[in-house]
Structure 1
Amino acid sequence: MTTEGIPVWDIEEPDIDLGDLVLEDENDALVANRTREMKRSVHAWLCFHSGLFAEWGLTHDAVDESAILSSQRMQSEGHYRWDSAVETRRSAMHSLRTQLGDEITPSPIIFDAEGIALGYNLPGFSDIPEADLRVFNERFDGDAGCGYESWGDFCNYYRNLASYLVYDLSAVLNILEDLLPDYLPQIDQAWVERQQNRHYRQPSIQVVGVHCDRDRTVDQALSARELGRLVRVHGQITMLSPRKTQYITAAFHCSRCDDPEVQLVPQNRYDDDMLFPLPCSVQGHNGWNLLEPPESTTISIRRALLQSAQVNSSDSPAVLVEFQQELTDQITGGEEVILVGYVRSRPMNKTSKRDRNREVYLVVTGIESNSVQTDVEVLPEEREMVMEWANARSFRERLTELTRSFAPPIVGRDYVKHALILQQVGGSSLAQRSDIHVALFGDPGTGKTVMSNYSLSLSPASRYISGERATIPGMIGGQSTKSELFSSGDKKVIVPGVLASVGPGGIAVIDEAHFLDKGGKDLSNELNTALELQWVPLAFVDGGKVVTKTPVLIAANPKKGNNTKFDPLSNLTFAQQAGMKDSTMSRLDVPIVMIDNLLSEDEEEKRAIAALMNLNGDFREDNPDSEILNLRFMQCFFSIAREYSEVRMTPDIMRYMAKDQVKSRLGRSDGDSVSNRRMNSLGRLACAAAKLSFSNVVTKEHADFAIEIMSKTLMDVSPSAAEGGKTMQQSNRDEAIWNALNTFYAITDKSQFNMEDLVEGIRKHWNDVNEGDVPKRDSIVQAITGFLSTGKRHPQNGGLRKSGKTWGFDNE
């Protein structure tokens, strides 16, 4: 099958040839001929996708095969700009037999406007004799089939349908409603009986894949010049109504007649008011009873407000959008979406029917990107490529290439990349919590931002929030009181925040987390609940809650202290330096502190060269000499790995990992034992490692890798600091300050001191009991204050006491 000779897509409306059509009014002639031409284009699409050319080899199977080939070509040429749209747009190219299924309630029929215009699925030449093609409609009953002058003429009509879909969708839908009953029996004779069933409903129609020149912002979609036209809009669902039932044809009977006739009243799809029949013929019978389906015909609808995905002001425009039938199940409040729909207008409210100023809204015909509900969709050929690559490599070989390709401009920091790689796939779904929470506390320039952004790019379902601008409603969820989308009343609704808007396969990144307590706000309680329980109750809505089941990546710079870098010897804990609550630290699986230490000359040279290579474009995916796995491959790999959700550990592995936990708790030389929570985190990391092997069973190799990662985290390096406390270095320093203080007090004649007396005394006697440099003044003052607050006591001197600015010991 070849597509040679088919012209390229012209998105402009097709020229209309009046031909031999003669009407008294020229405008009537134009309208009538346009309708005739439009109908012939609809016929062309239905003929091809219904298998009416099967006699010449264009069977249902052949149409489905050409759909796959043309879809692959369109994807390779960049016509599919969102991964989540691939399957939907590929389905639109299939035969109607495949699209409809074989149930009483048929699946929707999908049209891909761009695919129709390109015509890659059409053979360039056909064996159909032109004589047969001219009278093709005579072969079929009813209104099925249509005559064409030649195969080229047929292809032109087929491709022109794209323009009619864009500029006159309402008329195309009316034509389809008339023609489909005659075409369905040509697909399968079973449709004759199905259409006679009283519960049968015609398939809904969806349209996707408009050309990029139909892309509009939310504000542009509100323009009057777009009325009646198809557009593509990118935005965020900020309010979503419950599902409602809309009557398309309402059936009534008289409420007082004994044997009333059923009156069918077609409804206006673009007006919420119900239309009723004329009064009953019996005088005095004024009431009507509305009959439910199947006597009436109904559809399901939901309405929402769509706002720009990047809101930059309080008056950002919002457009009302309406989802119908199957599309009502594919949307969630708070998510970022790319919608295709046609622009309509309706009265502002029930009292403004005669007002010529009307509200513009969007009737959605297709959802091209729905990142919250959809993980990365891996095509069959992509799955085959990933599996072939994985099967040819051991676990460690896979890991080496994945690490090199993860945020490639960052050289070194492999243990950080390993943690972020495991976060992408998560632990076992058999556990109460499978998500892995990672925190990167890093000095400026250590690569936090680069690695965080790369983590975000691995799934369209991921979400980002800055701690500098974070609020509880924005980060977790909140209440909104807005006008009802179907009435003039108001209601309280739950609006999910970032952590509640992440879909399968995504992560939530909280950047600049050192600002979470800025300006007196305190987000720690809600954040802790979101991390641990993965749902947060909302007191203002009875029984309301937001689910925050998502892995969280926290990135923070040093916020407090004299230095712009994290200081292990600071008087402040790592948590305090990062502006984090101690309780939040204990919710993290992998807390990592990235200190900008000087490395060996070779390592420093590697990092410098990596920075220059990035400027040189050596890490770009289109570089043929690069050894980097491209982003799409990484996305597919992690998506496949996530499919191995139920990972188990054998008894031997559990004992092996338990021994490591016992050793870490009891065998540390510094006496700083790890927490019991470490065991849960270690288990999640081991299960995630098994997923990298595309396995549901944890092996010793996976357990060792998890232990290796844990050994580099704050949880193992300084267990107390991982819980929000001091490092062993800080604790040892404070103990040394305490010893110097008591040495000074033992030899002085004074019993009352100010703070400067104590600081000077500690400095003077530091070398009497300690080695090394004297701590900074702030560290000494912080330690003295801590001794008082914790009630630390000396066997002879007792504990510190304070009255005003006067200090002393309480043994006096």
Structure 2
Amino acid sequence: MEEFRDSLVEFLRNSYLNEIIEEEKEVTIDLNKLYLSGFMEVVEFIVNNPFDGLKFIEECYKEAYFILKSETLDEVKIKFKNIPKIFRGERFNIKDIGSKYINKLVEFEALIILASKRKPILKKAYYYCEKCGSSLKEEIDIFNFSEERVCKCGSIMKLIEDKSEFTDFQELKVQEPLDLLENPDEPPKYITVILENSPGIYAGRVRIVGVPIKIRKSKKLPVYDLVVKALSCEVLDGEVKIKLSKKDVEKIKKLAKRDDIIDILSDKLIPEIKGHSIIKKAIFLQQIKGVKKPGKRADIHILLITDPGIGKTVMLRKIAEIPGNIYGSITTATGVGLTAAVVKEKTEIGEESWVIKPGLLVKANKGTACIDELTVNRDILSYVLEAMESQTIHISKGGINAKLPAECSVLAACNPKYGRFDPDKSVSEQINIPAPLLSRFDLIFPLKDVPNKDEDREIAEYIVDLHRAYLDKEVSKKMGLEEFEVDGIKIDKDLLIKYIFYARALKPVISERAKELLINYYVNMRKKHQITARQIEAAIRIAEAHAKAKLKEEVDEEDVKVAINIITECLKEIAYDPEEGIYDIDKIVGMSRKDREKVEIVYNAIKELSKRNELVSYLSIVEMVKDKIKEEEIDSIIKRLIKYGDIDEPKPGRFRILE
């Protein structure tokens, strides 16, 4: 490599002038830029001999520094990025790392699934011989370390820690991002990454440039494990990047001109389920998201409460196929599997250490967490609330203090506790989700299985055709499962996903007329109905998503009307009081206003009667309130008062007030 030294020093001096002037201690060399600048042989040497190449680049950089600054640079950390595709192909993944890449330079994207606590590790050991006074300082191989060395005089040199050098060390277990899998049906491969000089990375998507090295796990067998020693670890923003051609954009713009394009695409987003058009539209808009602003989330949270047999798991798994989205079932995961776990676990280094295991909400950062069988224990409630509102999860345990990103939409589903959804009961009574968490959902939809002869026949026919379509291409084509045509444009899953990602990147601004419509909606609803500011926040997000889906620069009245319609359809199902003719938000998270008034009537009656007798009979309560409340309701109200601790029943049929 010596024949390239002078020209490389000159290149580094010119290309990294700012880094030299600013005296940066870490410098990242763009290998593709180096390759295109004529240093093909140098880059090839670095790729095939990364540690020697790293040392050579460091020497050249220090020379360039000396030429410019007229002083010696003691230490600089060189990192690499952008290995030319000629060496590793168009896309290099974890699955490609094998024995032929041992001690070669590789680059890949990955998702962190486990991260150890950051700890100091010996980098340069200082050995001293007490007999002859000789000393030795050398780089340490963490997999082949000894506290002693043999001196030239034959004596044992001892490690002197106070004179040795340490760096921050971390171990990561990473897996292939799901959107980069060639075959989505195959489980993602994973590998361990050894990260020195770590700033503390605990979650997210990263780009690793490093060297696969072998570790022998057993002295009895000549079998080795592979780990990657990272030379650099770049934390990415988590946003999945989808490549769109000029033709793709032309097709998307043409499709967006159709008035009914959102209805068409939302229906085909989940073709396995027939009907439920409003819910499908809401889920489609959820994937596009609102507009991100400081302190305001763009993500739309949706909860589906489904009667048995509706197909909630099919819906969630279908949405999880969109790049960046993650599916998980609470029946197969612990509560902390939603947020993040801090546990002690044996690592590749061979010792037990505190590690973070990012949960579903962290892994779905920038995408959608599709959560099946949602139920949340009280011990993790605060973490889930934080994740859904502020979109972060704070961890403080085992010496690890970290703030993990959880900027994702939540699409959750659960079954009613009593089998089928009852519109006369509050939502919180029917599911195992605490009221504070329920209030974080923008939309809550019950999917009810209501017998209807005509609809049942249509659904049965659709299900049978689905089964036929898997084996009959003509049926599949007729149903548009694999692809369908709109205005001469063939739309398959790939183009549908591209449409979503293209629309997601837009940032329409709310127009003055749309603003007035939103304000009037909120004010008018507040006059008659018990709604809160959360509903107008949800309306804004949905309206923005609708405008983005139509590729608009402004959120207009049409977008707001669609948002209001979706929210109204949702409230009709979960918060409408037919007797009062109003929407009552309290009915979602607890008792409706009407039920609360009835409870107060019974409680006040017991309180009044207890002034005459400490124990109040059931019959006397019925007699006192029968003009205001039906007798069949009184028993359940009394049971509710006992449950809440307002009264008790010391004798059968006799009640008293608990102060």
Q: TM-score, normalised by structure 1?
A: 0.55
The AA in structure 2 aligned to 1:783 is I
**Corresponding residue number in structure 1 for 2:25:** none
Q: Percent identity?
A: 18
Q: Shift in Å at residue 399 of structure 1?
A: 0.7
Structure-to-structure mapping, 1:714-793, within 5 angstroms: 714=571, 717=576, 718-720=583-585, 723-726=588-591, 753=617, 781-786=635-640
**Corresponding residue number in structure 1 for 2:568:** 711
Contact 2:482 2:493 in 1 (8 A): no
In 1, distance between residues paired with 2:588 and 2:361? Answer: 23
**Corresponding residue number in structure 1 for 2:317:** 453
The 1:193–1:579 alpha-carbon spacing in structure 2 relative to 1, beyond 3 Å, is closer
In 2, distance between residues paired with 1:341 and 1:202? Answer: 12
Contact 1:306 1:319 in 2 (8 A): yes
* Secondary structure at 1:479 match in 2: strand
* 1:566 and 2:566 are equivalent in the alignment: no
1:107 aligned residue (30, 41, 49): 30
Contact 1:511 1:554 in 2 (8 A): yes
The 1:245–1:107 alpha-carbon spacing in structure 2 relative to 1, beyond 3 Å, is farther
The 1:408–1:555 alpha-carbon spacing in structure 2 relative to 1, beyond 3 Å, is same
Q: Shift in Å at residue 410 of structure 1?
A: 1.8
* 1:414 and 2:277 are equivalent in the alignment: yes
Structure-to-structure mapping, 1:337-486, within 5 angstroms: 342=212, 344-345=214-215, 360-364=224-228, 374-381=238-245, 384-394=247-257, 396-430=259-293, 431-459=295-323, 461-482=324-345
Q: Shift in Å at residue 712 of structure 1?
A: 0.9
1:656 aligned residue (509, 514, 517): 517
CA shift digits 1:121-178 (9 cap, x unpaired): xxxxxxxxxxxxxxxxxxxx99969xxxxxxxxxxxxxxxxxxxxxxx9998249968
* 1:173 and 2:48 are equivalent in the alignment: yes
* 1:675 and 2:537 are equivalent in the alignment: no
1:615 aligned residue (467, 479, 490): 467
Q: Shift in Å at residue 557 of structure 1?
A: 0.5
Q: Shift in Å at residue 697 of structure 1?
A: 2.5
**Corresponding residue number in structure 1 for 2:172:** 304
Q: Shift in Å at residue 701 of structure 1?
A: 1.2
In 2, distance between residues paired with 1:610 and 1:371? Answer: 46
**Corresponding residue number in structure 2 for 1:510:** 371
1:804 aligned residue (635, 644, 651): 651
The AA in structure 2 aligned to 1:652 is R
In 1, distance between residues paired with 2:161 and 2:534? Answer: 67
The AA in structure 2 aligned to 1:106 is I
In 1, distance between residues paired with 2:297 and 2:543? Answer: 14
Contact 1:674 1:719 in 2 (8 A): yes
Q: Shift in Å at residue 577 of structure 1?
A: 1.1
**Corresponding residue number in structure 1 for 2:113:** 237
The 1:143–1:181 alpha-carbon spacing in structure 2 relative to 1, beyond 3 Å, is farther
CA shift digits 1:773-806 (9 cap, x unpaired): x99x7x65323334677899xxxxxxx9854222
Q: Shift in Å at residue 554 of structure 1?
A: 1.7
**Corresponding residue number in structure 1 for 2:362:** 500
The 1:337–1:784 alpha-carbon spacing in structure 2 relative to 1, beyond 3 Å, is farther
Structure-to-structure mapping, 1:135-174, within 5 angstroms: 173-174=48-49
The 1:196–1:600 alpha-carbon spacing in structure 2 relative to 1, beyond 3 Å, is farther
In 2, distance between residues paired with 1:585 and 1:175? Answer: 53
Structure-to-structure mapping, 1:38-49, within 5 angstroms: none
**Corresponding residue number in structure 2 for 1:160:** none
The AA in structure 2 aligned to 1:607 is I
In 2, distance between residues paired with 1:376 and 1:235? Answer: 12
**Corresponding residue number in structure 2 for 1:321:** 192
The AA in structure 1 aligned to 2:651 is G
The 1:229–1:176 alpha-carbon spacing in structure 2 relative to 1, beyond 3 Å, is closer
Contact 1:425 1:691 in 2 (8 A): yes
The 1:723–1:432 alpha-carbon spacing in structure 2 relative to 1, beyond 3 Å, is same
* Secondary structure at 2:256 match in 1: coil
Give the number of the structure whose alpha-carbon radius of gyration is greater.
1
Q: Shift in Å at residue 360 of structure 1?
A: 3.9
* 1:534 and 2:391 are equivalent in the alignment: yes
CA shift digits 1:214-254 (9 cap, x unpaired): 9599xxx8xx999889999999632346498997xx89999
In 1, distance between residues paired with 2:160 and 2:272? Answer: 75
**Corresponding residue number in structure 2 for 1:30:** none
**Corresponding residue number in structure 1 for 2:8:** none
Contact 1:476 1:496 in 2 (8 A): yes
* Secondary structure at 1:531 match in 2: helix
CA shift digits 1:442-476 (9 cap, x unpaired): 212233222222221112x2223323344342211
Contact 1:253 1:289 in 2 (8 A): no
How many residue pairs get aligned? The number is 571
In 2, distance between residues paired with 1:396 and 1:358? Answer: 66
The 1:178–1:503 alpha-carbon spacing in structure 2 relative to 1, beyond 3 Å, is closer
Contact 1:345 1:360 in 2 (8 A): yes
Contact 2:109 2:176 in 1 (8 A): no
Contact 1:443 1:566 in 2 (8 A): yes
Larger fraction in strand: 2
RMSD: 6.1
The AA in structure 2 aligned to 1:173 is N
The AA in structure 1 aligned to 2:172 is A
In 1, distance between residues paired with 2:192 and 2:291? Answer: 38
Q: Shift in Å at residue 421 of structure 1?
A: 1.4
* 1:556 and 2:414 are equivalent in the alignment: yes
The AA in structure 1 aligned to 2:339 is I
In 2, distance between residues paired with 1:676 and 1:390? Answer: 35
Q: Shift in Å at residue 532 of structure 1?
A: 2.5
In 1, distance between residues paired with 2:388 and 2:137? Answer: 55
Which has the bigger relative contact order, CA under 8 A and spacing at least 6? Answer: 2
**Corresponding residue number in structure 2 for 1:688:** 545
The 1:203–1:393 alpha-carbon spacing in structure 2 relative to 1, beyond 3 Å, is closer
Q: Shift in Å at residue 677 of structure 1?
A: 2.0
The AA in structure 1 aligned to 2:115 is M
Contact 2:327 2:371 in 1 (8 A): yes
The 1:690–1:290 alpha-carbon spacing in structure 2 relative to 1, beyond 3 Å, is farther
* Secondary structure at 1:508 match in 2: strand
In 1, distance between residues paired with 2:343 and 2:384? Answer: 20
Q: Shift in Å at residue 666 of structure 1?
A: 1.6
**Corresponding residue number in structure 1 for 2:181:** none
The 1:525–1:106 alpha-carbon spacing in structure 2 relative to 1, beyond 3 Å, is closer
* Secondary structure at 1:713 match in 2: helix
In 1, distance between residues paired with 2:523 and 2:426? Answer: 26
Q: Shift in Å at residue 707 of structure 1?
A: 0.6
In 2, distance between residues paired with 1:144 and 1:532? Answer: 52
Q: Shift in Å at residue 709 of structure 1?
A: 0.7
Q: Shift in Å at residue 106 of structure 1?
A: 2.9
Which structure 1 segments of 5+ residues have no match? 1-100, 111-140, 146-168, 255-262, 281-285, 293-297, 311-317, 349-354, 746-750, 793-799
The 1:502–1:347 alpha-carbon spacing in structure 2 relative to 1, beyond 3 Å, is same
Contact 1:427 1:434 in 2 (8 A): yes
In 2, distance between residues paired with 1:652 and 1:623? Answer: 40
The AA in structure 1 aligned to 2:561 is D
